[in-house]
Amino acid sequence: MINIVLFGKPGAGKGTQAEFLKEKYNLTHISTGDIFRYNIKNETALGLEAKSYINKGDLVPDSLTIKMLQDEVERHPETKGFLFDGFPRTLAQAEALDAFLATKKWEVTATIALEADDEILVKRLLERGKTSGRPDDQDEDKIRNRYQEYNEKTAPLMEYYNKQNKFYPVNGIGSIAEITERLSAVIESL
């Protein structure tokens, strides 16, 4: 089983790249964004709680995110592996993911970070916000708040996974095909 964590700031291309990687490597794609949107759209208790944070431009608390993720993993017991997109975002989430996977005798194989300059990403999200209908993609202050939260809470994951020899930074700027090729090179080297 191969379990890949794909992370990067909002707008870095995680969702786009996840679509290619899940097909190429036969992985079950678990996007916290998709899980949030599903729960919000269906007005589940978890979804309504998540919505209150997202609308303010804040990250959803770990306990809520972890519960949604565990529910989703449990729905795919026969998978060849998972591609975690947007999770973990904090050290507590990484530790919770490791503990949860260990109960199934699984582990994170690698963490791949799509890296890109903030100014490029802000422009991407504002452009995406014109068609996505997502309020958090239409307000530059909210976008920058998400990046500040990312830097404070997610950056420590680099060290966490680096200590386990599971951290691989990848340049997230270029064509979709170029970035996919960079990601594939990492996965195939594992």
Q: Is residue 190 part of a domain?
A: no
**128 has catalytic annotation:** yes
Q: Is residue 188 part of a domain?
A: no
**76 pLDDT tier (thresholds 50, 70, 90):** very high
pLDDT at 152 (0 to 100):
84
Of 9, 124, 142, 146, the catalytic one is 146
Provide the number of structural domains found in the chain: 1
**146 has catalytic annotation:** yes
Q: Is residue 151 part of a domain?
A: yes
Q: Is residue 113 part of a domain?
A: yes
Q: Is residue 119 part of a domain?
A: yes
**89 has catalytic annotation:** yes
Q: Is residue 189 part of a domain?
A: no
pLDDT at 169 (0 to 100):
95
pLDDT single digits (tens) 155-190:
789 999 999 999 999 999 999 999 999 999 999 999
Give the domain range for residue 110. 2-182
CATH number at residue 140: 3.40.50.300
| Entry pTM | 0.82
Q: Is the pLDDT of residue 59 over 90?
A: no
Q: Is residue 104 part of a domain?
A: yes
Q: What tokens does 129 get?
A: 């916000």
Of 37, 134, 144, 153, the catalytic one is 134
pLDDT at 181 (0 to 100):
97
Annotate 69-97 with three-state secondary structure: HHHHHHCCCCCCEEEEECCCCCHHHHHHH
**134 has catalytic annotation:** yes
pLDDT at 36 (0 to 100):
83
Give the distance from CA 164 to its chain's centroid: 19
Q: Is residue 123 part of a domain?
A: yes
pLDDT at 27 (0 to 100):
97
* Ranges assigned E (strand) in the chain: 2-7, 28-31, 81-85, 110-115, 167-171
Of 37, 51, 128, 153, the catalytic one is 128
Q: Span 47-74, mean pLDDT?
A: 88
